[in-house]
Structure 1
C-alpha cells in the first residue's frame, strides 16, 4: 500500500512550565509521520523541557532554529540536569540528494537562504517572544518521496527545492490569512532530507505575542490550536502548488460538457420518450432543476440516467472512470484520514452532470408543453413507476456499473486514456455538427474565458505577494538588525 502523499501537522510550545501542555496531543500530532519524524517531535519536547530548566541566559525559542537547521550540531545544556544530544545533518548533499540551486539553509518569506545578520534578527525576536510569554508554533509538512517523483519534484535524486520553498511560502500565506494572522507573524523554515520522507519544518511566532503565562491550559490550547480546517488548507495548498491537474480536469470537462451535454442540446429526446414527455409536461411544477420538488428530481434523474445509458454509454462510462481516477488522486495525496476533502468528488461531479442534463431535458419538456402536440386530456395523465421502470434496465444496473468502475480505480493508478473516441451509436454528422454549433462554441469560449481569469488571478496574486514581501522587508528593517540580502 502506497503512503499518503502529503502530511501536515502543527503543534506549539510555550514558556509555561506545565509538562502536559506539550505532550497532551502527541499521538494526534504525530499520526502518519514515520518513526524518525515522530522521534524528532519527542526529542524536541525533551530539549525544550531542559531549556526551560536552564538557569543560563541562553534560554529561548531561538534554540529551535538551531535544531531545525542542524548540520552535525550538538545541543548542550550544562546544569544539574545536563542534557546532550547530537543530530545528523539535515542537508540534501549529506543524505544522498542534490538540489537544483544548491542553496540550503534556513529560508523565510522572501530569501532562499537567510544571512547571518538575518539569523541574528530572528534569534533575538524568537527569544523576545519566549521572554514575553508568547507561543512558538511548529508546522511540519512531510511528503512521500514516491509521490514527489510522480509529480516531477524529485527526479534522479535531484530535488526541486525552489519549488518546495515557494510552496511553503504560499502555504504560509494562505494559512495566516485563514487564521487572520497576516502581517502579525515572523517565520522561518528549513527543508530536511534525513528521513524516508522529505519534509520541511516551520518556526513561527507572533510579532506582538499574546502572553499565555497566566492562561489556563484550556485558554492556551484555544490560542495555540490549529483546527482541522487549517491543516486541510495547508495540505491543499501544497498539493495544488506541486501538482498540475489541468489536463485531467480538461478531460472531465470535455466529456461532460462537449461529448454529453453538447450533443444532448442538439438531440430531440421526445422522439424516444414521447409518453414520458407527455406526462412530465403536465405533472412538473417548474422547469428549473434546482427548484424541482424531491420526487420531481427523482423523475428527471431517472430519465437522465436512461438517456445516459441509451444515448451516451461509452461517454458516461469514461466520465465515471475520469472522475473516479481524480478522486483516487486526492485520496493518494491527502490520505483516508482527510477523506472529507475528497470523498464526494466523483459523486459531486455526477450530480453536476445530472443537473445540467436535467435542465436540458426540462427545456425540451417545456417546449413540448407549449407545442400543439401536448395531450388535451390532462385528467387522464398519471405518472407511474412502471413507466420509468420500462425506460432502463433499472437504475440498479447503472449503479452497479458505476461501483464496478470506481472499484477498478482503487489501485492508485492514475494513468488516464488520451483517446477521445466518438461513440459508435451516434451519427457522425450529428457529432461533428455539435462541435461547431453555437452552444458548443459558447461552452468552449466560456471555458477559455474562465481559464484566462485564473491566469490573471494568479498574476495578480503573485504581484500582491511581491508587494507584501516589500512591506514585510520594510517593516522588519525598521528593527535595525535585519539585512534584506538584496
Structure 2
C-alpha cells in the first residue's frame, strides 16, 4: 500500500451529509467517532465501487481528536460554536462544502518517526501543522484566503490514521455555472473543482506534496544529492581536459570524429544527438569511474534511498521517474556531463581552426588537416615535458599523471597532422 492517499470531494448545501457535519461539529469526540460515516462523503464513491479499498484507507476510526483549525490545535467550546455558526451561514448562502481526507499507512508513519505503534503515540501536532500549511496554500491559489473557513480532525484507525478536513465559504466567491444533471436537465451551482496549477502541479498534487514536505524532512538528503552533482561531479569550473589520460584522449577524438558536422546540433538532449548519446555516456562513465568513483557511489546510494521514499509516498512510477530524471533528465547528471563534454569538443574544434587557419562553421576534419612544420616547436615542448617528468617526485603520482596527460593533449593540438 502507498504510504499516503489523498482524496477531495465537494457537495451542495442540500446534501444530507453537509447538514449532518454541521450538526455534529459541537459533539464530543466519541460521538463524532460513532457517527463518522454519516457526515463523511469524501470516499463515498470508493465505498460503492471498492469497499475493500475503502476499508483499507478509512474504515471506522477507533477515536477522533478534538477539532483543530487555522489558528488552534484544539478548539474550545466557544470557538467550535462560532465556527459552527459560520458553517450555518455558508449553508444558508448555498456555499459548497469541500471535504479533504489525507489517509496514512501507519507503518509509513512509523518508518518516518511520526508514530509509535507500541505506545500508540502519534505526532499529531506535526500532522495538524502540515494540514494547516497545505490548506492555507490551496485557499490562496484558489482565491479563497479571505472568504473560506475550515476545521479538521485526526481519526485514529487500526491501520490508517487520517486527517479529515471540511471547508466552506460563508459568503461564496466561487463563480456560478450551469451544469448537466445526471438525472437529466440542467442546474446552476457554484464551481467546486480545484484544479488550478502551481509550478506544473495540479491542486491535488501540490496539496499532497505539501503534507509530505511538512511531516517528513527530506531536505538534507535532497541537498546532498544536488551538492554531489553540482559541486563535485559536474562543477562548472572544471574541464575534462585537466583530467584526461591517454585512453580518454583517444575516446575524445573518436567522439569528435563521430559527431555531425553541424555544431548547432551539439546539445545533449537534442533529438539529432540520439545516436551519439551512448558514445557520450560511455565516455562520461569512464570519466566518473577514474575521477569520482566514491562520489558517484554515494550519489547512487542517496538516489536509491530517495527512490524508496517515493515508492512509500507516491508509488512505483514516480519513484522510477525520479532516478531516471536525476540521471538523464533536463538537469540530470549525464545531461550536465554530456553538455560539458560537447562544449569542450566545440572548443577543441575552434582551437584547431585557429591553429590551422581553417574557415567555415562546420566541424574540422581531423583526417585532412593542412601539413605544418612544427619540429622546432615540438622539440621545445618535449624538453618541457621531460622537465615536468623529472619533477614528478615533488607531487603525488596521480596528480602529476593528470597534468602530464593534459600537456600531451595540448601538444597534439599543435601537431595533430603528424600524430
In structure 2, which of residues 84, 94, 98 is the aligned counterpart of residue 137 of structure 1? 98
- Tell me how far 1:328 sits from its aligned partner: 3.1
In structure 2, which of residues 114, 120, 134 is the aligned counterpart of residue 153 of structure 1? 114
Equivalences for 1:244-323 in 2 at 5 Å?
244-262=217-235, 265=240, 266-268=242-244, 271-276=249-254, 278-279=256-257, 283-286=261-264, 289=267, 293-296=270-273, 298-299=275-276, 301-313=277-289, 314=293, 316=296, 319-323=299-303
Query: SS of the residue aligned with 1:162?
Result: helix
Where does residue 223 of structure 1 map in the other structure?
191
Change (3 A) 1:272 1:427: farther
In structure 2, which of residues 77, 81, 85 is the aligned counterpart of residue 120 of structure 1? 81
- Tell me how far 1:138 sits from its aligned partner: 1.0
Change (3 A) 1:343 1:325: same
Where does residue 71 of structure 1 map in the other structure?
30
- Tell me how far 1:353 sits from its aligned partner: 1.5
Contact 1:70 1:88 in 2 (8 A): no
Contact 2:13 2:96 in 1 (8 A): yes
Equivalences for 1:20-99 in 2 at 5 Å?
48=16, 61-66=21-26, 70-72=29-31, 90-91=63-64
- Tell me how far 1:139 sits from its aligned partner: 0.6
- Tell me how far 1:215 sits from its aligned partner: 5.8
Contact 2:70 2:132 in 1 (8 A): yes
Higher RCO (CA 8 Å, separation ≥ 6 residues)? 1
Query: SS of the residue aligned with 1:203?
Result: strand
Query: SS of the residue aligned with 1:272?
Result: helix
**Which of 1 and 2 has greater Rg?**
2
Change (3 A) 1:365 1:237: same
Where does residue 167 of structure 2 map in the other structure?
204
Structure 2 CA distance for aligned equivalents of residues 144 and 431 of structure 1: 55
- Tell me how far 1:152 sits from its aligned partner: 1.6
Any unmatched runs of 5+ in structure 2?
Answer: 36-59, 196-200, 368-395, 404-419
Change (3 A) 1:151 1:221: farther
Contact 1:71 1:88 in 2 (8 A): no
Q: Establish whether residue 192 from structure 1 lines up as the match of residue 151 from structure 2.
A: no
Contact 1:154 1:160 in 2 (8 A): yes
Structure 1 CA distance for aligned equivalents of residues 144 and 401 of structure 2: 53
- Tell me how far 1:141 sits from its aligned partner: 0.7
Any unmatched runs of 5+ in structure 1?
Answer: 18-47, 52-58, 76-86, 92-103, 383-425, 434-486
Where does residue 353 of structure 1 map in the other structure?
333
Contact 2:67 2:75 in 1 (8 A): yes
Contact 1:281 1:366 in 2 (8 A): no
Change (3 A) 1:212 1:279: closer
- Tell me how far 1:304 sits from its aligned partner: 2.9
Structure 2 CA distance for aligned equivalents of residues 431 and 197 of structure 1: 60
- Tell me how far 1:220 sits from its aligned partner: 7.0
- Tell me how far 1:303 sits from its aligned partner: 3.5
Contact 2:26 2:80 in 1 (8 A): no
Where does residue 333 of structure 1 map in the other structure?
313
Contact 2:148 2:168 in 1 (8 A): yes
1:330-382 C-alpha deviation (Å, 9 max, x unpaired): 1211235xx4x555211211122122112321232122123248788978669
Contact 1:189 1:202 in 2 (8 A): yes
RMSD: 3.9
Where does residue 407 of structure 2 map in the other structure?
none
- Tell me how far 1:15 sits from its aligned partner: 2.9
TM-score by length of 2: 0.64
Structure 1 CA distance for aligned equivalents of residues 228 and 364 of structure 2: 41
Structure 1 CA distance for aligned equivalents of residues 231 and 339 of structure 2: 16
Where does residue 177 of structure 1 map in the other structure?
140
Which 10-residue stretch deviates more, 109-118 or 219-228?
219-228
Change (3 A) 1:160 1:135: same
Contact 1:16 1:213 in 2 (8 A): no
Structure 2 CA distance for aligned equivalents of residues 334 and 306 of structure 1: 32
Contact 1:132 1:211 in 2 (8 A): no
